[in-house]
Structure 1
Amino acid sequence: MARVGTLRLTDAAQALSVSSMTLRRDLATGDAVLELLGGHVMARQGKGSPYSLAGEEDVHVAAKAAAGRQAAALVEDGDAIFVDCGTTMPHLLAALPTELELTVVCYALNVATLASRRPHTRLFMLGGLFHPSSATFLSEEAMEGLKRLGIAKAFISAGGLHPERGASCANFNEVPVKQAVMAQAMRSFLLIDSSKLGQVKPAFFAPADAFKRVITEQG
């Protein structure tokens, strides 16, 4: 009969012939626990699954598109805007008139791909280490580069907005970028669909009143 129990991280790493750092990194990708089954160490996902960009693309699509149109109405010709990561931001880009002369600053691959196809848009892509779960890049050099940019309007995404706990997201690697952009931009707008209202995600990044406006499909 298989034995079921728990292991210390160092013991599990030794059983798998990997370093503790490697095991810690792999487990950090989701809500995972270690189990010992019949002498084999197994990583089991908990009830909460990790954020996946691909998994979110087909969720609340109509609401995200409507929210994107609401946000696009705030963008003016000649603006330098920051467009955050996530699955709502592509709807913002899709709703922007193609004749607008814009500078778009971003750090997400899906956003950069769409922005690069616009005929009158200058694209500034922040580089660094790629994070597959959100298709974003992050590096110290990119964070320093943000300080030299003039951003008129920042459109920020979130996995949750709570009146007391503020704006939060699922990925901790997004927090430094969001906070640095909000400190740099003249105005910051939170762009979410209404399903995010009242939700709290693990990575807090700003109080609710830090935004000029919260934009949803309802206005």
Structure 2
Amino acid sequence: MNERSARRVARLAEVLAERGSLRLAEAASLCGVSPMTIRRDLAASDGELVLMGGYLVRAADPRYAPVYDLDDQRDRQAAAKRALCRKAAARVEEGDTLFIDCGTTLAPLVAELAGYRELTVVTYALNVASAVARHPGLRLVLLGGLYHPASQSFESDGVDAAVGRLAINRAFLSAAGVHPRHGLSCFHFHEVAPKRAAIAAAGERILVVDATKLGVIRPARFGALDDIDLLISDAESETSPLVEPREE
């Protein structure tokens, strides 16, 4: 890397330390060069700065860390997730068809549904499907395909059509990031299609997240805040944390 490139990267690193993220075009304008030049600077650098979905971020910033493993996440915020799922279950009515997203946040929701006798659960998550299968009163629709062990979820090219054929009363959605400007995001790009399909198909879209997800951006964007009808969170205020990014 030449001296001018190093100065540009150092300048951008200082800005990102304060702001968290920059659009690529904004970073180029700040440095008085083209976006391609910024891309070349990053390619020649030591990896301190990276591009995610058109945004420049610091690789070490925990808000944008692209690492996720369901087993690692299982016990994090476990009590909060159970409490959130109890709130979410209050929205369910006998006879509903529910979409339940992947991840660990919504896994406790299945236990809250055990007393129902006329519910259908649609999911692409193996951990959710396994829990539903233990309750004979619940009908299971598993959206299959290529299995991803890290998230215990399935990927299929036909998920849009499969979900579109279903009349879903309520979609319970999870997110790894909820940001006022950048919307709803997750770690894995294969999760985007089923999440978007559920948002499009459901009569009510319910986002269930603990407070640690608010103000955070993850690599794969799947929606905007106005795609959601109801936010269930353990934040002090369920809407105000979405106005500004969370301070780290």
Q: Deviations over 1:42-91 (max 9, x none)?
A: xxxx7546100000001011111111111010011110000000001111
Matches within 5 A, 1:114-133: 114-133=131-150
Moved over 4 A (4+): none
Matched, 1:64 2:64: no
The separation in 2 between residues aligned to 1:190 and 1:184, in whole angstroms, is 15
Q: How far is the alpha carbon of 1:134 from its aligned partner?
A: 0.7
SS at match of 1:90: coil
Instruction: Identify the range of structure 1 (97-106 vs 49-58) with the bigger mean alpha-carbon deviation.
Output: 97-106
TM-score, with structure 1 as normaliser: 0.76
Match of 1:88 among 102, 105, 111: 105
Alignment gaps of 5+ in structure 2? 1-45, 47-58, 239-248
Q: How far is the alpha carbon of 1:147 from its aligned partner?
A: 1.5
Match of 1:193 among 210, 215, 223: 210
Tell whether the 8 Å contact from 1:152 to 1:186 is kept in structure 2 after alignment: yes
Q: CA RMSD of the aligned region, Å?
A: 1.7
Corresponding residue for residue 155 of structure 1: 172
Aligned residues: 175
Corresponding residue for residue 14 of structure 1: none
Alignment gaps of 5+ in structure 1? 1-34, 36-45
The separation in 2 between residues aligned to 1:131 and 1:157, in whole angstroms, is 17
TM-score, with structure 2 as normaliser: 0.67
Corresponding residue for residue 77 of structure 1: 94
Corresponding residue for residue 43 of structure 2: none
The separation in 1 between residues aligned to 2:108 and 2:215, in whole angstroms, is 22
Q: Which has the higher helix share?
A: 2
